Chain A
């Protein structure tokens, strides 16, 4: 079925290095993608989004890349800091019949090593 999934459940990164979190999706008609960060004991927090008419979008220390050819989404975090420790979810919002429904990936836990 249609789904959004992540390749790695846990990612360990040295503090100061760049982090790359990956996500695959299966619906080629999907047109909007979002990355959320969820710290322990908190609700998800919007990080960055991208529409399907774009390949790349940059925020503060974060970049999202969208490769529609292989249906792949990635989140890059530059100069990873301890405060980046969290679970990161990609989510896909399919308009059409499900205006409200966010299709969530499984999540990747990012661990920062000192």
Chain B
């Protein structure tokens, strides 16, 4: 089945130790998104790619970076994780940009920072 896949599902990292989260999609969608979701809160958009065009949200910390080497894969790099970065990280895709295109979410990676 076509889907959005995130690996790993659970990630533990140490304070200050760089970590990379992965997302892949078999939907061949042009747009990929990374969201951060903390407990009992709504997802918060960090950034998105339209094809190779990177778009950063204004309030996304510099500690968060992203790479999209090809259509199928997108990575979230956290350069120096702090305790406040512990959260669920959700990857999503949409076929095209624009407000009428449904976003398809992956299962998320839960990040723990020790």
Partners in one complex: yes
Whether A99 contacts B97 by the Cβ 8 Å rule is: yes
B90 interface hit (Cβ, 8 Å): yes
Instruction: Tell me which of A45, A89, A107 has the highest count of chain B C-beta atoms within 10 A of its own C-beta.
Output: A107
Please give, as numbers and ranges, the residues of chain B lying within 8 Å of A31 by CB-CB distance. Answer: 99
The reply to whether A94 and B99 form a contact with Cβ atoms under 8 Å apart is yes
Question: Is A105 a contact partner of B98 (Cβ separation < 8 A)?
Answer: no
Is the CB–CB distance between B43 and A32 below 8 Å? no
Q: B113 at the A/B interface (Cβ < 8 Å)? A: no
Q: How far is the CA of A42 from the CA of B16 in the complex (A)?
A: 27
Interface positions of B from 16 to 68, Cβ below 8 Å from A = 31, 33, 40-43, 45, 48, 50, 55
**Interface residues in B, total, Cβ within 8 A:** 25
The count of chain A contact residues (Cβ–Cβ below 8 Å) is 24
Let me know if A95 and B98 touch, CB within 8 A: yes
Taking the closest CB of chain A, its distance from the CB of B6, in whole angstroms, is 8
Check: A62 CB closer than 8 A to any chain B CB.
no
Q: Are A100 and B48 in contact (CB under 8 A)?
A: yes
Taking the complex as formed, is B82 at the interface, i.e. its CB lies under 8 A from any CB of chain A? no
Nearest residue (CB) in A for B108 is A43
Decide if A107 touches B41 in the complex (CB within 8 Å): yes
Measured in the bound complex, the distance between the Cα atoms of B31 and A93 in whole Å is: 15
Of all A-B residue pairs in the complex, the 9 with the closest CB atoms, nearest first, are: A43-B105, A104-B42, A93-B99, A95-B99, A44-B105, A43-B108, A43-B90, A43-B107, A32-B99
The residues of A with any CB-CB pair to B shorter than 8 Å are 31-32, 34, 41-46, 49, 51, 89, 91, 93-95, 99-102, 104-107
